[in-house]
Amino acid sequence: MTHCIHRRNFLAGISGVAAAGPLNFALADEKPTITLVEWGGRTRESIAALQKYQSVANLRWELHAGGAAAIVAKIRAAKPAVNYDVVAAWSPVFVTMINEDWLETVTPEEMPNLADIPAGLFIRDASGAAKTVPREINPHMWGYRQDRAPFEIRRLQDLLDKRLKGQIVFPGPVLNTSTQMISIARGLGGSEENMKPAWEFVKELAKSGNIGRVASSDAEVNNSLTSGETSVGFGAASHFMRIADAGLPVTPLAKMPADSGFKAAIAMQGWCILKGGNTKVAKAWANAMVAPEPNSQHAAHNGVLPVNAKSSVPPRIAAIRYSNDELAAHTYTPNWKVVSRELPNWTQRWEREIAPLL
Amino acid sequence: MKTWRRINWPIMPPLIAVACLLVFPLMIVLSLSTRQVAPGQVGGIVGGYQLTLDNYLTFFHPAYLRYVTDTLWLSLIATTIAVLAAYPVAYWLAVAPSSWRRRLTIVALIVVLYASAVVKVYGVSIALGPMGLRGSIAEFWGVGMNNRLVTSTVVVVGLINFLTPIATLMMVAPFQQISPSLSAAAQSLGANRLTAHLTVIIPLCRAGISQVFMLVYAASVSAFVIPLVLGRGQVAFLSNLVYARFSEVADFPGGAALSILLLLITLCVTLGLGWIVGNPAAKWRGYRS
């Protein structure tokens, strides 16, 4: 038996495919599509893998380019059009969007899984309405590579030690929304409203020549520490977890004595639902994503703390898990409204006072 | 009536389109640059329109002079080296008879041109990083690896890597416009090849080379990824400061003011350089007469 492709067979095949095409689209279109702005890399992988836990929506992905704040400028530029339904971001960016009144209110009545998330993690507007869907806690802290750092780092003042020449990767003024500067200020008795101690310290640090690289992205911090270019850095705990995953001995300075000067910033990452989009479906989708099981999996995959009280915490991130007492002793939650207001000034101050010393 | 006839109507639609695409956004940026800043608001704009020049005055702090000099000076060094490196290759491509070597070189230049700037920058970053030749550069300058001079050198190398293929391909056209018989004629009258080249070829294609120089310099001044990645926070161009304001701290008026300043500075420098490299001999003769 031989199989020949004749002109008529070919045309019949083409027409069959053409007829089945709309059917396929119709099947695919059963679920509405929402547009999600998300981080790339491991986070995207994680969220994509979690889609088996929901059947409410198809996703159209858009990845953040640059810092999370960049999406704010894009949303503003597109107004009054709303091009996104769900945006992944973190605390300071949410504050900015709430100020603009862009975000839908979220409630446990519409999204039952929110009832299992501690109330303190939600960011609220002036009237107290919750505007965000928390998904993870990712503290920002100092950390170092034991195999590369010339000595054990115990105090903030150790960063000025001459033996660390060129060994510190310091985030640029806008990276992490300057939590590194606030962390130093807090460690030296200041705060986001009194940054003088931080500026004085970082000036000394810049003069010392210990800052080997000023990072403009999280990836740069990771690469610098992983490659051994530098041995001390400030970043999200999840990044230190990733470095550890690569088999490198890294110590996150998460629970240091109160007088060490090392303080971790507690930042919440999650989603917000934009007004004017496909809000009902977006809320159903976000609700499904913060259910205990997907939230646990997301935390395990990314090396972050889950937010759902019913989620399990992977053992490998126990080092960055804080009890209530530890939260008070070793961490702080920045006043994001002050940070959001002051960030342009801090950026200018960095350009004028710190950059020339590097 | 005569004036209407003189207008070249076919070029009007694209001319109008370009004017709209250039002038209209520029007007928006100009307007934005004079708005008052409200920190914490997206775009940093106060409601209502209150004219202010504060966004410009911010950049008259002496610290910003360093960003201006980094942008202009490092670009000038990189452009000069890129154009000098491109010159012999472009000349050879223009005058050499067709051969597989010539074709291969053109293909290689185009492939390099098409390669993502980010890939090229990270290539330079690795090659001249701490695990690469950064130590040798530091040794050459007699300074430590984290010295600003080393970082500036790396940025210049990154710019040269980016600019040289552009300069080479652009420079082929001016050489191709010169008849090879002119050089042959000079040699037949007793000039050696070098003298013929210096006294015949270079004067004839000087205008074209100047234009290439200016275009490549403009590309260098507006470079963004190269100083961002290779500058390690020690070396930043004005474009990096503009980006930070628009995208990172949502200070649109500050970003707009800096954009206008960058435009003015670049315009002045480009005009000045154009005047210098345009036709120095003629100007010199003009002064003497």
Is pLDDT above 90 for A166? no
The CATH architecture assigned to B69-235 reads: Orthogonal Bundle (1.10)
Beta strands in chain A (DSSP E): 33-38, 58-63, 86-90, 133-137, 140-145, 168-171, 211-215, 232-236, 250-252, 264-265, 268-273, 305-306, 331-332
Question: What is each CA distance from B178 to A40, A344, B198, in whole angstroms?
Answer: 52, 54, 14
Q: What is the percent of chain A with per-residue pLDDT over 90, rounded to a whole number? A: 29
Sequence letter at residue A228: G
Residue A32: is the preceding peptide bond cis (ω within 30°)? no
Do A33-137+267-328 and A138-266+336-357 show the same overall fold? Answer: yes
**Mean pLDDT, chain A, integer:** 84
B103 touches A: beta carbon within 8 Å: no
Is pLDDT above 70 for A115? yes
**Cα–Cα distance, A292 to A288 (Å, whole number):** 9
pLDDT score for A26: 43
pLDDT score for B278: 62
Sequence letter at residue A224: S
Choose among A73, A172, A342: nearest Cβ to B250. A73
| CB pair distance less than 8 Å for A96 and B236 | no
pLDDT, tens digit (0-9, with 9 covering 90-100), for A251-261? 888 888 888 88
Is pLDDT above 50 for A273? yes
**Cα–Cα distance, B129 to B231 (Å, whole number):** 11
Q: Specify the higher pLDDT residue, A339 or B280.
A: A339
Residue B255, Cβ density class (10 Å: 0-12 exposed, 13-18 middle, ≥19 buried)? buried
pLDDT score for A277: 86
Pairing relationship of beta strands A268-273 and A86-90 according to DSSP bridges: antiparallel
Query: Dihedral angle at the C-alpha atoms of B163, B166, B171, B173, nearest 10 degrees?
Result: -170
Is pLDDT above 80 for A320? no
Angle of helix B252-278 relative to helix B280-288, nearest 10 degrees, comes to: 70
Give the predicted TM-score (pTM) of the model: 0.75
> What's the whole-number mean pLDDT along residues A278-305?
91
**Cα–Cα distance, A318 to A297 (Å, whole number):** 15
Question: What is each CA distance from A113 to A133, A293, A310, A349, B57, in whole angstroms?
Answer: 10, 11, 10, 43, 51
B203 touches A: beta carbon within 8 Å: no
Q: Tell me A354's DSSP state.
A: I
pLDDT score for A111: 94
> What's the whole-number mean pLDDT along residues A194-208?
93
Pairing relationship of beta strands A86-90 and A33-38 according to DSSP bridges: parallel
> What's the whole-number mean pLDDT along residues A69-92?
83
- Name the CATH superfamily, with its identifier, for domain A33-137+267-328: Periplasmic binding protein-like II (3.40.190.10)
- Three-class DSSP category at A182: helix
b/e for A61-90, b at 16 or more Cβ within 10 A? eeebeebbbbbbbbbbeeeeebbbbbbbbb
b/e for B85-110, b at 16 or more Cβ within 10 A? ebbebbbebbeeeeeeeeeebeeebe
CATH 3.40.50.2300 fits A138-266+336-357, yes or no: no
Q: Where are the domains of chain B?
A: 69-235
The token pair at A197 is 């101690």
pLDDT score for A292: 92
Nearest CA to A320 out of A294, A295, A302 is that of A302
pLDDT score for B286: 52
Q: What is the percent of chain B with per-residue pLDDT over 70, rounded to a whole number? A: 90
pLDDT score for B45: 62
What is the chain A residue with the closest CA to B70?
A356
The token pair at B164 is 């040289």
pLDDT score for B82: 95
The label of the residue with tokens 């003088």 reads: A196
Chain A residues with CB-CB distance to B under 8 A? 66-67, 69-70, 72-73, 75-76, 96-97, 99-100, 165-166, 170, 172-174, 209, 211-216, 227-229, 337, 340-345, 347-348, 351-353, 355-356, 358
> What's the whole-number mean pLDDT along residues A269-289?
92
Read off the pLDDT band of A6 (50, 70, 90).
low
DSSP-assigned letters across all residues of A210-228 = -EEEEESSHHHHHHHHHHT
Q: Specify the higher pLDDT residue, B20 or A29.
A: B20
Q: Where are the domains of chain A?
A: 33-137+267-328, 138-266+336-357
Interface probe for B, chosen from A351, A352, A353, A358 (most Cβ of B below 10 Å), is: A351
- Ranges of chain B with pLDDT below 50: 287-289
For chains A and B, count residue pairs whose Cβ atoms are closer than 8 Å.
Answer: 108
Are the beta carbons of B67 and B236 closer than 8 angstroms?
A: yes
pLDDT score for A40: 80
| CB pair distance less than 8 Å for B233 and A215 | yes
| CB pair distance less than 8 Å for A337 and B42 | no
ipTM: 0.73
Read off the pLDDT band of A9 (50, 70, 90).
low
pLDDT score for A8: 52
Other CB atoms within a 10 A radius of the CB of residue A260 amount to 18
Among A78-82, A130-134, B5-9, B59-63, name the most confident range: A130-134
B253 touches A: beta carbon within 8 Å: no
Is pLDDT above 50 for A285? yes
| A48-52, A202-206, A326-330: range with lowest mean pLDDT | A326-330
Q: In chain B, which residues have their Cβ closer than 8 Å to the Cβ of A216?
A: 228-229, 233
